[in-house]
Amino acid sequence: MDKNIVFRAAAIIIFLVLPLLVKSNYLLGILIIIGLYTIIVIGLGILMGYAGQVSFGHAAFFGLGAYSVAVLSTAYRWPTFAALLAAVVVPGLLAALIGRPTLKLKELYLVLATLAFGILVHIFFNEAREITGGPSGLTGIPYLSLGGLVFDRDIKFYYLVWSTVLLISLGVNNLIHSRVGRALRAIRESEHAAETSGIDTASLKLQAFVFSAVLAGLAGGLYAYYVTFISPSPFGFHTSVLFVLMAVVGGLGTFWGPLLGTGLVVALGEILRWAVPLAIPGAGGEYQIIFFGVILVVIMIVKPEGLGSIIKFSKKSVEKGVR
């Protein structure tokens, strides 16, 4: 337990000092993206690791958050807080709509529903030109401004995103050690046993799903403010699979899993972007995905609990919560 606190304090210090050491905007940008994806993967990790469900449509919730901010802050001039609220509410409501009937059934139906939903939303981003600007997207998203503070530089955004990650991580950590967390774990171990013990499994799984969509929407809203220009391409099916990969690589149901998995997958993506064209001349970005596919298969066969489980003490702290 003490070791855990030391570890977390060290992580917070690293988080505070890192941007001062990183001089390149490229690296700072990657750190911001890792932070944003980590928010999504934390939610997906709860859905997968605790509620035992998987979604192949989280890029759509991410995109819905981003488009909510983009549309509302440009065409309707909504202030930051209101636009971000919409970025959270819109995906949350849609998740409740899909999740409510499908989560009562066996697990594969949510997979199919999220898969279909993800592709449909992506088609919508491309086709609803009047709202979304079609394939060319939307530009001119204003800077995020909260209480007179304008986040117009990467370094400010870095602190905003990573403070959000920290707050969510701590909140989720508390949640997992609460009654709700124990109930969710019970569902993962055995849904029948959980139900017999009086846990409303369908309702809890729905809450976990909606919560994960809300986090994805929040990350999307922040993403739109960060890049100030959005198009449909980052919100396709491949991104959804990448989120699942990040959750799986880091390990499900661990404190460090989401950060670890996201960091590794984003770093690998960047390395592949350099390395693949050297190995296969004329290769485009599509080739990266082969590696991700193979890694996903290998991890699921060899170590389905993810690489995060290597960090023993964080897992122990989770187990402590059970008792």
Partner 1 sequence: MVDLSSQLLQLLFSGLTLGSIYALIALALVTTFNITGVLNLAQGEFVALGALLAASLFAAGLPLPLVFILTVAGVAILGGLVERSAIYPARGASSMTLIIITIGLSISLRGLALLVWGTDPLLLPAFSSGGPILIGGAAINPQSLWIFGLTAVTLAMLFAFFELTYLGKAVRACEINRTAARLVGINPGAMSLLAFAGSGAIGAAAGIFIAPLTLATYDMGFMLGVKGFVAAVIGGMNNVGGAVLGGFILGVLEIYSAGLVSSGLKDAVALLVLLAVLLIRPEGLVGVIAGRKV
Q: How many residues does the chain have?
A: 323
Instruction: Tell the smallest beta-carbon distance from residue 102 to partner 1 (Å).
Output: 6
In the bound state with partner 1, the residue whose beta carbon lies nearer, of 271 and 290, is 290
Between the two ends of the chain, the Cα-to-Cα distance in Å is 15
Instruction: Tell the smallest beta-carbon distance from residue 131 to partner 1 (Å).
Output: 15
Instruction: Tell the smallest beta-carbon distance from residue 134 to partner 1 (Å).
Output: 11
Q: How many DSSP H helices and E strands does the chain contain?
A: 14, 2
In the bound state with partner 1, the residue whose beta carbon lies nearer, of 105 and 150, is 105
CA nearest neighbour of 36 among 209, 156, 216: 216
Count Cα neighbours of 35 within 13 Å in the Cβ-side half-sphere: 26
The amino acid at residue 174 is N
DSSP-derived letter for residue 254 is -
CB 184 within 8 A of CB 46: yes
Q: What is the 3-state secondary structure (H, E, C) of 156-178?
A: HHHHHHHHHHHHHHHHHHHHHCC
DSSP-derived letter for residue 150 is E
Instruction: Tell the smallest beta-carbon distance from residue 121 to partner 1 (Å).
Output: 10
Long-range CB contacts (< 8 A, 24+ apart) of 78-86?
79/145, 80/144, 80/145, 80/146, 80/225, 81/146, 83/221, 84/218, 84/221, 84/222, 86/221
Residues at the contact surface with partner 1, assessed by CB under 8 A:
48, 52-54, 56, 97-98, 101-102, 105, 107-109, 111-113, 115-117, 119-120, 123, 127, 237-238, 241, 244, 248, 280, 286-287, 289-290, 292-297, 300-301, 304
The amino acid at residue 9 is A
In the bound state with partner 1, the residue whose beta carbon lies nearer, of 156 and 188, is 188
In the bound state with partner 1, the residue whose beta carbon lies nearer, of 149 and 298, is 298
Instruction: Tell the smallest beta-carbon distance from residue 204 to partner 1 (Å).
Output: 16
In the bound state with partner 1, the residue whose beta carbon lies nearer, of 25 and 190, is 190
In the bound state with partner 1, the residue whose beta carbon lies nearer, of 165 and 244, is 244
In the bound state with partner 1, the residue whose beta carbon lies nearer, of 235 and 292, is 292
Instruction: Tell the smallest beta-carbon distance from residue 31 to partner 1 (Å).
Output: 27
Burial class (CB in 10 A: 0-12, 13-18, 19+), 296: middle
Distances (CA, A) of 54 to 2, 111, 290: 33, 6, 21
Instruction: Tell the smallest beta-carbon distance from residue 26 to partner 1 (Å).
Output: 27
In the bound state with partner 1, the residue whose beta carbon lies nearer, of 171 and 293, is 293
Instruction: Tell the smallest beta-carbon distance from residue 169 to partner 1 (Å).
Output: 23
